[in-house]
Structure formats: C-alpha cells, structure tokens
Structure 1
Amino acid sequence: MGRFETDIEADARRGRGAASRDTGRFERLSRADSHDGWDIAEEVRQIRTEVSEESPRSLVNYVRSPDIPFDRSINPYRGCEHGCIYCFARPSHAYLGLSPGLDFETRLVARPGAPEVLDRELRAKSYEVAPIAIGTNTDPYQPIEKERGIMRACLEVLRAHRHPVAIVTKGTLIERDIDILSDMASEGLARVGISVTTLDRDLARRMEPRVPAPARRLHAIRRLTQAGIPVRLMVSPVVPALTDPEIERILEAGAEAGADAASWIMLRLPHEVAPLWQDWLEVHYPDSAARVMARLREMHGGKVYSSTWHKRMRGEGHYAEIIARRFKLAARRHGLDRPTQPLRTDLFAPPPRAGDQLSLF
C-alpha cells in the first residue's frame, strides 16, 4: 500500500497522528488540499484544533454487545485530540461528515449541556441503575477538558446521584478529579482504567502523539491508587511485532504503580482505521510493516480485521493464543489476575431539587 494522495505536509500536521483528511465512507465527494499552481513560496500553516459545540438531546448510550462488560456509556466529546493512530473510534467521525483521519483529532465537538442532560436522564422514573462507562469511545480527559470541564461536571452529577461509574483514559488530567473519584470510590462507586500501550517513549510519541508519556501515566496510576481509587492497567492495544514484546514489562510496571487488575485487547482496524494505520506503519516502521500486518491477517482469517463477536477484541489462532497465555501468566505473577469488586448500584438515589415535595417519612 502506498501513501494517501491527500496527505498533508508534515510541517502542517506536526504533533498529529494521521497524515490525511480523506473523507469517510458515507461521503459521495472527496476533498483534497492541492497547490494553486503559482510558483510562489507559501508559508506552511500548522493545523490547529477547532472545537464546535453540540446540544445533545440524550446522553446515555445503551450498548448491546457480548464483548464488553457494560451496557451503557456517555461521551462528553466527539473526536479526540490525543491522535492515537490506531484508535478504533476514528470511524465515528464519518457519521458527522468529517474525516476519520486528521479531522477526528483536530475538529472536535464538545457537549457542554451533557451534565444537565445526564441529570435529567438519571431522574427518569423508567431509569434502571447500572454502571456507566466513560471513555470507551473518545477520551474524556483529552486536552480540551482542561478548559471545558464537561467531564468533571458529569462526575459531579454522578456523585450527587451516587451512581456507579467506570472510566477509561490515557489522560493524566484525571488527577484533577481525585477529590470526586476518591469520594465515590470510598463507597464502591468508581473504578478507573489507565491504558499503557508501550513503555517506549519514542514509540508512544509517534503512535499516540498527544497522550502523556508512559511514565507519566504510570505516575497517574500511583496517585489514583494512593487516594483509594482502584485502577485497572489496560494493555490496549497490543500491537504485533511492535509492542507485544513489552507485555510482561508493562504488567510489572503497572503492578509496581499500584494497579489491582489488568486487561488487554489486540489491535483493531475497523473501516477507515486500516488504511490510516498501514500508511503510518510504512512511514514510521517500514521494516516491521509486513510482519505486523501478516500477524493481524493470521488472527482474522486473512483479513486485517473481523468484527465477529467474541473474536474481534483478541483475534484467534496460534499467535493470539500465545499472547493470551503470556498475558495470563504475567498477570498472575504480579497479582493482577484477581477478581475485582463489582461497583455498587444499591446506593443510587437522585438528590432532591429545589421545589421538590419532601417525603413525610
């Protein structure tokens, strides 16, 4: 596979994961940046992050999949500035008429009304409590959260309702919310998953350009666990021939930082992610590209990805079994294979609002 015809100049996309802004699979027309034909030198303008706003009508997204341990999630943002080239959520930007490539990481959508909508949905008489997952699509602690604060406001709603929450992130901004999370964790209402894909700082910077360095994420695990917040180390995704040699070292580092559990997912390349990943791989690791892709095809019946339930997260076959066995043994060695306590649902109680009629009993 060659480079995209619509690749953006390297100087313009410095610090980004994708190299192109090819349109998504739902668009009839494609867009491309091209030279205007004039023989005049032009200044290369670096692509900046743009943030628009959306007023959500609903927030709780119900999920029906046997591959994941939750049935509902919320997303304070669409798109993710972290720019992880392998992110399986990239294709979701195609539904907005935007590119799963550069648009996904530079044209973001904030949902400032999310806390109010969440409060309304949790108060509905028909609502049945179960843990809400946050960060399963795009990261709630990506850089724009620092000024927007939507995630923190959502957490305040969940704490007020005493509603269980499970958070997945690579962002160390989560340390800002230790005050809320420690309160919730003390009642069995909160758990966090921190993703550490590699311990190699250079590989991480190329593959996850705007994510805090691996050592910084391990420090976040330490801070959270010291505050009484249980943390799962997530070795996700495992990249064949690039990060799989590190599995044992990552688990050891996570255990030393205080994680009490661990999990893993194999690299997934749905829809537009596959060509973006292969383009990135040929540029940054050309000597490993053929081997990486061969392993992925081996695990998915000759395809780079299969969406078959029970197989899409980890693949199948000899290589997938070896990875699973190695992970299981290392997790056991470091005490990361023990069952975790389920989040409590029995404390859920929407707080009274001004004007509500108080009970006589």
Structure 2
Amino acid sequence: MDDERRRYQIKGRAAGSNHAGRFERHTRTLIDDGWAVEEELPVLRTQISVERPRSLITYNRSPDLPFDRSINPYRGCEHGCVYCFARPTHAYLGLSPGLDFETRLVARPEAPAVLRRELAARKYKVAPIAIGTNTDPYQPIERDQGIMRACLQVLSDAGHPVAIVTKGSLIERDLDILGDMARRGLVRVGVSVTTLDAKLSRLMEPRAPAPERRLQMIRRLSAAGVPVRIMASPMIPALTDPELEAILAAGRNAGARTASWIMLRLPREVSPLVQEWLAAHYPDRAGRIMSRLREMHGGKEYDARWHARMRGEGPYAEMVAQRFDVSAKRLGLRKSAPPMRCDLFRAPVLEGAQMSLFG
C-alpha cells in the first residue's frame, strides 16, 4: 500500500500514489511503530497556497499547437483527472505529480493585475490567449478565489481574444462576460468530454462534472452565443475510444460547432500513475491499452515529438483519425473555427499612466 494511503483516507481522488517528484533527492517512507492499534485515518483534504507571479503570459513555439501564448490562474487541479498531462509540472514546485497535484493547489490572486500590466506593455502584440491548456481555470477553488473571472474581465475590457478549455461548470457563472465577448468575436470555448459513462468518469475524473453536466454546459454556452468546441480528449484505446462517435454526436446535439480529439498522452510521471489506476480499476484491459499506446509510439509509452505526441502514429492511430473525420463530416462539425478578432484590442491604461489624447 502506498504511504499516502496508509496516512489518509483517500476519497474522491484518482491518483493511487504520491511518489516524490523527479527532482527530489529524498523519498518519504512510513514505518510501522509496532503498536497493533487500529486508528481512524484522517481524510486527505485540499490545501491551497498563494503565489505572486512576476509574469503571467507564457509563450510557446510548438508547431502543433494552435496558439502561441497562454496563462494559468492556478497550479495543480482539483478535478484530479488521472490522465492529466500537466501532472509532471508539479515536480517543479517540489511536489508530487500524484496526489499532491490534485490536493496541494497554488492560487495566483495577483494574476489579473499582472495580466493587465503585460497587456499594457508597449511591445505587446495582440494574438489569442489560451486559458486551460495546463490546468483547469474553472476547477472548484475558482468559486471562492475568482481569479479566472477577474482575468476574463481584464481581457474583455481590453478587447482581447481568448480561447478557453474547461470541464468546469463554473464557467456558466461568467456567461455575462462571455456572452458579451462572443458578440464581439473575442471568445471561443472548448469543453472536454472523455466519456459518456458517468461511472467511468467518476473513477477517472473524480472531481470534474459528470458527462451529462458538461453537455449541459455546452447547451448553455451555445444558447448565450458562445462558439463551443466538443473535445473528445483524451481517447483511451480499448476504454473510451469506442465512444468517439457518440461523444461527437452528443456534443453536436448540445450545440457545439467544432470538434477535435487527442489520444491519451503519458509523459513522465503520468505513465506509472495511469498504469497504477488501470491495474486497480480495469486489470482485464490494462495490458491491451498499454500495448496499443506503445504500438502508436514506436514501442515507447510516450513520444514527445511534435505532431506525433497528440495523436500517435501507425494503423491504430490512423483508424481513430479516420473515424473522427467521417463522424465530424457526417455531423457537420468543423475542425477549425473562424478566427477571433484582434482589431478591437486596446491596451489597458495603468493607474498613474498618461492617457492617449485621442483615446
């Protein structure tokens, strides 16, 4: 039994272990004290710490990504999706990509002010900002923190385009801002639906909204005029990929206009976590799933090469891609959305700065 499971009752968490991050020199091991006394273990609670970022916008040059910049209001994610490819980033904080990733979260309350300052910089050139590409901006702690809403307001006031990816139903709280931005061509939202099976979702994404609730999000966003993408991601071979067509159809029926898919990715610590999860919940399929993934990555569990990391290669990957293309075409779902407007951007005026004579 993993040390963390011997220290706590772990309910509603996906990770089955909490091994030290790859940069740590020491590991923690529990030792039996010899007292044969049964004790009720405390429940593992979510902890939130605060970070004051000096910069917020992160730039990338990845040729297989449709954006070149992103922001993250939080580090770690309470949704706790076992397959999350962002888990390894927690190791940079000296924390475990396992249970720490979903229980020891970092909020960045000064993010809106830092974002406003960076948008106001003379050298800043406008292009769509992505939010939610690492950790979900509408995870449960956003309800109290409100950092995402404040960042969204900064972008709206500046007329800046933004692309959001989320599973969080809390996005509906911000329909007032999102609806206004949509009318100006400044926003699009991607909603990730991994499976339509509520039981599987609860095991795999324990604190994310159920699949039907996410479809309801799509309906409400679409009704407010917000362009929505149904994201069938990640597809897990022999577990969720049989649902691909059904997920796309459900998304289209809920109002999605575009669609995309990504194959399961297992970078660094994600691979042992997912294999541990498969052994616990789907031992009969674990071997087949891992075999398919290695087949798509040249015998490895993960291939970080651009253009190969998202979809894999080989007959199986090509078959899934063809199924997606056929289904999306039949349902009238586009692969790409019209570009958002960048011509409405006006740099924020910082307090104490001289305003333009001509506004």
Aligned partner letter, 1:115? P
Kept in 1, the 8 Å contact 2:229–2:260? The answer is: yes
Distance 1:36 1:152 in 2: 49
1:98 pairs with 90, 95, 100, which one?
Answer: 95
Kept in 2, the 8 Å contact 1:90–1:272? The answer is: yes
Aligned residue runs from structure 1 range 43-54, under 5 A: 43-54=40-51
Aligned residue runs from structure 1 range 201-350, under 5 A: 201-337=198-334, 339-350=336-347
2:55 corresponds to: 58
Distance 2:208 2:30 in 1: 27
Distance 2:330 2:125 in 1: 39
Q: Describe the SS at the equivalent of 2:13.
A: coil
1:143 corresponds to: 140
Kept in 2, the 8 Å contact 1:22–1:32? The answer is: no
- Of all paired residues, the percent bearing the same amino acid is 66
Structure 1: unaligned runs, 5 residues or longer = none
The alignment's TM-score, normalised by the length of structure 2, stands at: 0.97
Aligned partner letter, 2:81? C
Residue 288 of structure 1, CA deviation: 0.5
Residue 73 of structure 1, CA deviation: 0.3
Residue 298 to residue 52, structure 1, CA distance change in 2 (3 Å): same
Judge which range, 80-89 or 346-355, deviates more: 346-355
Aligned partner letter, 1:19? G
Distance 1:88 1:59 in 2: 20
Q: Is 1:73–2:60 an aligned residue pair?
A: no
Kept in 1, the 8 Å contact 2:117–2:350? The answer is: no
Q: Is 1:118–2:111 an aligned residue pair?
A: no
Query: CA RMSD of the aligned region, Å?
Result: 1.4
1:181 corresponds to: 178
Distance 2:130 2:336 in 1: 19
Q: Describe the SS at the equivalent of 2:5.
A: coil
Distance 1:281 1:360 in 2: 63
The alignment's TM-score, normalised by the length of structure 1, stands at: 0.97
Q: What do residues 145-193 of structure 1 show as CA deviations (whole Å, max 9, x unaligned)?
A: 0000000000010011110000000001000001001111111100000
Distance 2:190 2:281 in 1: 28
Residue 279 to residue 183, structure 1, CA distance change in 2 (3 Å): same
Q: Is 1:40–2:53 an aligned residue pair?
A: no
Distance 1:227 1:10 in 2: 46
Residue 315 of structure 1, CA deviation: 0.2
Residue 19 of structure 1, CA deviation: 1.2
Kept in 2, the 8 Å contact 1:160–1:350? The answer is: no
Distance 1:231 1:29 in 2: 45
Distance 2:255 2:18 in 1: 40
1:25 pairs with 13, 18, 22, which one?
Answer: 22
2:189 pairs with 187, 192, 202, which one?
Answer: 192
Aligned partner letter, 1:294? S
Aligned residue-pair number: 358
User: Runs of 4 or more off by more than 6 Å in structure 1?
Assistant: none
Residue 355 of structure 1, CA deviation: 4.7
Distance 2:257 2:93 in 1: 38
2:163 pairs with 162, 166, 173, which one?
Answer: 166
Residue 35 to residue 49, structure 1, CA distance change in 2 (3 Å): farther
Kept in 2, the 8 Å contact 1:328–1:337? The answer is: no
Residue 63 of structure 1, CA deviation: 1.1
Aligned partner letter, 1:254? G
Residue 316 of structure 1, CA deviation: 0.1
Q: What do residues 228-277 of structure 1 show as CA deviations (whole Å, max 9, x unaligned)?
A: 00000000000000001000000100000000000000000000000000
1:134 corresponds to: 131
